[in-house]
Amino acid sequence: MEPRESDFQSPIITKSQLSTTQPSPSPSPSPVPAPSSVMRLWRPAAQRNLRNQWSKLLAIFRDWCSSSSSARSHATCLVNSFLSQKYMNGMNLGVLSDMPDIRKKACQKFFKQQVLYRSKLLSCYKDMVAVVTRMVNSSRSMRCYLKGSRSSPLAQFSCSSQNDNDIGDGGGLPVFTFWPIASFEELASEVVQMVTSELNLKRLLVMELLSICDEKVAQDIELHWSDEFYAGEFDDLRICNLYSEEACEPVFPSLRSSQSHTSSIQYKHQADSDVLQVYLTTWLAEVNIDRCRLDEIFAVVGEEMHVNLS
């Protein structure tokens, strides 16, 4: 099924507007003007950096798609194994019914499969978090700073600032044709917002899917939203701005027009087949990612930079 338009989409400019106007960058402190010779060298360095970072963003998003697809495959196998074990006693096995302990052996097999696919799903989720942290870091590395002294005869540039007076945007001048660096950052932020919102929702689905199990072992593997799913997860979520220091737990998914709190959530970990199918369908839909908008963003950015981002 086709994903729906993201509830988290920012009201950004259209393609026609982007080619003729410049978004107003956020107010920033007035930097000390760089020598004209330095600025002449800054522009090609900034162009190279922007091309590199946007190429990285596209490659990282493809990694996201791959990890998300693998995770859904493991989740589907986990659900199928669980439901097969759950309904084994009511199945008509035909001529196999007379085989000694056939149902018991089948249930043991399905249980081992659940352990395997639970581990694989968690591993894919960890990969997805790592992908998003890379995307966040790339979106924050689009500025180009002078490296060393402004009076140095050899101008070098870096993605990190070494001077408080250098904000890395070339004084707001267009880097290629129309846009200053702030415009590229604004669109990169929109891409990152879509993916981080989807990661947040998928964490909720992972929690539910990892917690489906036989009632006899439910207490041993049951997860809650405030749990750390793997060592170092909360540090990764902080980078993605998905961890609340005030609540001391990850930010809970919510629609743009509402707020959700974990205090109002009941951890039922429902194992009904219809509910599990909804989880799998929601995973596939990626409701927070507007593919049409993403295609438009990469197209107009590529057009501005004179490269093909596809």
Query: Binning pLDDT at 50, 70 and 90, where does residue 263 land?
Result: very low
Q: Output the pLDDT for position 22.
A: 47
Tokens of 307: 């490269």
Answer yes or no: is pLDDT of 240 > 70: yes
Answer yes or no: is pLDDT of 79 > 50: yes
Q: Token pair 């694989």 is at which residue?
A: 120
Half-sphere exposure of 37 (CA within 13 A, CB side): 7
Type of residue found at 26: S
Taking the domains of the chain in order of start, what are their residue ranges? 33-305
The per-residue pLDDT of the chain, averaged, comes to: 82
Question: pLDDT tens across 189-207, in order?
Answer: 999 999 999 999 999 999 9
Q: Output the pLDDT for position 14.
A: 47
d(CA 123, CA 72): 12
State the maximum Cα–Cα separation within the chain, in Å, rounded to a whole number: 89
Q: What is the pTM of this model?
A: 0.82
Give percent of the chain with pLDDT exceeding 70: 75
CA angle 211, 212, 217 (to 5 degrees): 80
Answer yes or no: is pLDDT of 264 > 80: no
Rg (alpha carbons) of the chain, rounded to whole number? 25
Answer yes or no: is pLDDT of 229 > 90: yes
DSSP-assigned letters across all residues of the chain: -PPPPPTT---PPPHHHHTT--PPPPP-PPPPPPPHHHHHHHHHHHHHHHHHHHHHHHHHHHHHHHHHHHHHHHHHHHHHHHHHHHTGGG---GGGGGSTTHHHHHHHHHHHHHHHHHHHHHHHHHHHHHHHHHHHHHHT----EEES-TT-SS-EEESS-S-TT--SSGGG--SSSS--HHHHHHHHHHHHHHHHHHHHHHHHHHHHHHH---GGGHHHH---TTS-SSTTHHHHHHHTT-EETTTTEEPPP--TT----GGG--------HHHHHHHHHHHHH-TT--HHHHHHHHHHHHHHHTS---
Type of residue found at 300: V
Interval 294-298 mean pLDDT: 97
Q: Token pair 């205090």 is at which residue?
A: 263
